[in-house]
Structure 1
Amino acid sequence: MTLPSQHRESVPDMPNRLGLDGIEFIEYATSRPQALGQVLENMGFRPVARHRSREVTLYRQGGMNLVVNASPDDARVSATTDGQPVISAVAFRVRDALQSHTRCMELGAWNVTSQAQAMELHIPAIHGPGGSRFYFVDRWQEFSIYDIDFKPIPTVDQHPEATAGMSYFGVVQYIGAGRSADWLAYFEHMFDFSFVPDEQRFGILPKGKLMKSPCGNFLWQLIEPDPWMDTDESPECLQRIGLGAVDVGAAVSALKARGVEFVESTQLHPEDRGALTRSALGSVSFELVHKD
C-alpha cells in the first residue's frame, strides 16, 4: 500500500471533522513482553519509559510511539493465545479528544469504559475490531500523554532516531468475508477516511481495499479472507503495521543487520516498492512500503 500522489489541479480539502492529524501510538497486548521487546528492538524501537502503575512499556523511534501492554488485569492481555502479541489499540491524534469521542458515540460507536486510576490520565476510546480500541489523543505537542502516566527510563535517549527514516505508514486490518463495504462505510462515516481507487496500488501486498486518512498522513488496508480459508479461524483484527521508508532497500539492509528476517520467495521478496518481515512470536510482522 502507498499514499496516492498529489494532483496538479486544485482539489477541495477532504472533510476532517475530528481534526485527525496522524497516529499517536499503536499498542500491542501480550503476556510475553520481554520476547516482544526484543522483536521491537530489532526493528529499531527503543524502550524509553515505563508506566507508573501498570506493566506497560513505551517504545519509540523517530516520530513513532509503540506501547507494549502486559498488564495481567487487562482483559485484552488475558485473551491473547499462547502469549502471542496482538495489536490491541491505535491512538489517533485529534483536535479535541472529548469532542471526537462524543461525535463518534453519536454516530453509533461503542464506548470503552475508562480504567484510569487516581492521578492517571483518562484517554477516551471506542471499541474497534476484535476487541481492539481506538483512542483519541489531543496532547502530543508541547505536552504529551506520556508526561503524566510514564516515567522515563534513566540514561535512555527519549527520542532515538528512526532506522532509515522510517515512519508510520498505515495499519492492515483483517476483516470477515464480504465485509469490505461495511468497513469502508464505517471508516468513512466515523473518521472521514476516503477510498483509494484500486489502480493506485504500490508495494508488494496490494490485496484488499485501501482508505486514506483525512489528514493524509496514513492509510488503512482492509483484507478479506481468501475463499478457501475457514472463516471461523480468521477473525477480524488489526493484523500488522505498515512502516514507510523513502529508501526501502536501505531500510531492509539496516534491519537485516539487526537480525530481522524478510519473506523471500518467487512471488514475494524485498524490493524498492516494499518488503515484509517474517512473522515473529507467531503473530508480529511489519510491512515496509516506499514513501515519498
Structure 2
Amino acid sequence: MSDYRTNTSRPSGADREHIDEGPNPLGLEGIEFIEYATSKPQALGQVLEAMGFKPIARHRSREVLLYRQGDINVIVNAHGRGAALTEKPVIAAIALRVHDASAAYQRALERGAWAVPVQVEVMELHIPAIHGVGNSRIYFVDRHREFSIYDVDFTPVPAVDKNPPAIAGLHFFGVVQYIGNDRSDDWTEFYSALFGFTALAPETRFGILPKGLILQSPCNTFYLQLIEPEPGVLDVEDDECFQRIGLGTPDVPATVAALRTRGVEFVPSKDPTQDSKGALTRPTMGNAMFELVHHTRG
C-alpha cells in the first residue's frame, strides 16, 4: 500500500495544487465490475443466480466466470491466488470505468497510489491496477461501450443472453468498506486526493444501515460507505476490506418480494416503516451479502 494512504502524507516532490485537474481528475465514469475471489466458485455462482445474475462468459485461460444482470457485472475468480484463496468469498477488486485507462493510472500514481504488477497471458488485455484496501485491487477500464474487455478476454457461454435484464431495475449503488479505528479521515483523504470523492454531510444517509461516512464519486454514479468498528472494539486495522455491494432499486419492497421468490433470504427488519428505504440479505458462505438501497437513477 502507498505511504500516502496509510500515513496521509503528501507524495514527495509533488505539489498538490500543481496536479489538481478538477473535481474528476481521473475521469471516472462509474463501476465496471466487482470481483470476488473464492475457492468455491460454483457455490458463489448459486448465490449470484438467486440474486438475478446470469453466467454469461468464461475467461479464455483462467478459472474466472462473468455474471451479469442489466449493466451490473460481477466476476468470480477462482484462479491462482494460492493460500489467499479461501472458501469464504472476498471482494478482491473493483474496476472503475474511466475515459482513458492509461492516463487515469498514471495520474493515480502521480498522486501517491501504488502500482500492482499485472501478469498478462497471450491474447489478454492489460488492465492497469493500483492497490486498494487490504489485498484488493482497483482497476481502470476504458473499454466499456460498444467494445468491452470481455470481448477479448472471455468466451460467451453458449445459448445464454449476454445482456440479461436486471430484476426490478437493480443497478450498482456503491460499496461498503470496513476500516480500522479512527481511520475515517485517512480513507477520506485517500479517496478524495486520488479520485476526487467528496464526503457527504454526516446527516446524509441511504438505506437502513445509517453508519459510518458516505463518500460520493466525482462522476455522481456511486458511493463508498466507510464504517469503523463499534465503540470499544479493539483495533481491527488488519481487517480492513471491501465488505459488501450496495445495489440500488427504485422499489425496495417489490425487489425484496421478487428475490424472495428466487430463494433469497433477508435479515428481519427492526422497523417496518423503514422497509421502503432498504434491505439486507442474509449472509451466505460466511460473508456473501448484498444491501438493497432505494435509489432512482438520474
TM-score of the two chains, using structure 2 as the length reference: 0.89
Sequence identity (%): 59
Alpha carbon RMSD of aligned pairs, Å? Answer: 1.5
Q: Are the equivalent residues in 1 in contact too, given 2:181–2:237 (CA < 8 A)?
A: no
Q: Are the equivalent residues in 1 in contact too, given 2:181–2:236 (CA < 8 A)?
A: no
Letter in 2 for 1:101: Y
For residue 199 of structure 1, report the CA deviation from its aligned partner: 1.5
1:142 is matched with 146
SS of corresponding position for 2:28: coil
SS of corresponding position for 2:246: strand
Runs of 5+ unmatched residues, structure 2: 1-21
Letter in 2 for 1:168: F
Q: Does 1:44 align with 2:52?
A: yes
The whole-number CA distance in structure 2 between the counterparts of 1:162 and 1:214 is 25
Following TM superposition, where does structure 1 have runs of at least 4 consecutive aligned residues deviating by more than 6 angstroms? none
For residue 228 of structure 1, report the CA deviation from its aligned partner: 3.2
Q: Does 1:202 align with 2:175?
A: no
2:278 is matched with 274
**Residues 268 and 239 (structure 1 numbering): CA distance in 2 closer, same or farther, change over 3 Å?**
farther
Deviations 1:102-139 (A, max 9, x none): 11111111111011111110000000011000000000
Given the alignment, which residue of 223, 235, 254 partners 1:231?
A: 235
SS of corresponding position for 2:220: coil
List aligned pairs for 1:81-230, cutoff 5 A.
Answer: 81=86, 83-230=87-234
For residue 19 of structure 1, report the CA deviation from its aligned partner: 1.1
Letter in 2 for 1:74: R
Q: Are the equivalent residues in 2 in contact too, given 1:20–1:92 (CA < 8 A)?
A: yes
**Residues 19 and 246 (structure 1 numbering): CA distance in 2 closer, same or farther, change over 3 Å?**
same
The whole-number CA distance in structure 2 between the counterparts of 1:64 and 1:202 is 20
1:260 is matched with 264
Q: Are the equivalent residues in 2 in contact too, given 1:263–1:270 (CA < 8 A)?
A: no
2:84 is matched with 79
Q: Are the equivalent residues in 2 in contact too, given 1:204–1:268 (CA < 8 A)?
A: no
Given the alignment, which residue of 23, 37, 43 partners 1:35?
A: 43
Deviations 1:57-91 (A, max 9, x none): 000000100000000x235xx3144x100000000
For residue 234 of structure 1, report the CA deviation from its aligned partner: 6.6
2:65 is matched with 57
Runs of 5+ unmatched residues, structure 1: 1-13
SS of corresponding position for 1:17: coil
Letter in 2 for 1:91: A
The whole-number CA distance in structure 1 between the counterparts of 2:51 and 2:191 is 29
The whole-number CA distance in structure 2 between the counterparts of 1:194 and 1:136 is 20
2:76 is matched with 68
The whole-number CA distance in structure 2 between the counterparts of 1:23 and 1:41 is 20
The whole-number CA distance in structure 1 between the counterparts of 2:162 and 2:133 is 31
